[in-house]
Amino acid sequence: MTMVTQDTKSLSATSTKGPEKKPEKKEARKAEPNEAAWQIIINPLLTEKSINVVESQNKLTFNVRPESTKKQIRWAVENALAVKVDSINTLIDRDGKKRAMVKLTKEFKAADIATRFGML
């Protein structure tokens, strides 16, 4: 008596499921530059000291994401506020929040931007 054995691999290879469907590619929603900029900038800082700096040194102070770099902060401020940035100083306070002091070029006034936020 001869035994016939079937290979399970050959059975699965010969099964007829029909044409295989490829998963559809979902297009990733591209964030607008303004929207992406506000993901880096958390909010403007409204303290007495930051308002004095706006008036005296043409600087704006923002709370930013802790992992953001100075280049990312520069890009975010320039795109979100339509200004040119001269320099950026950053610090991390005791609570672990990162702050960025952004000095604007002479063409732009920090006081004008601050009034848009309702700081002045």
Tens-binned pLDDT, residue by residue, of the chain (120 aa)? 555 555 555 555 555 565 666 656 555 555 566 788 999 999 999 899 999 999 999 999 999 999 999 999 999 999 999 999 999 999 999 999 999 999 999 999 999 999 988 878
Is 6 within a domain?
no
* Number of domains observed in the structure of the chain: 1
Segments forming the whole domain that contains residue 90: 32-117
pTM exceeds 0.85, yes or no: no
Question: Under a CB-based contact definition with an 8 Å cutoff, are residues 28 and 71 in contact?
Answer: no
Q: How far apart are CA 120 and CA 111, in angstroms?
A: 7
Provide the 3-class DSSP secondary structure of residue 32. coil
Is 17 within a domain?
no
CATH code of 40's domain: 3.30.70.330
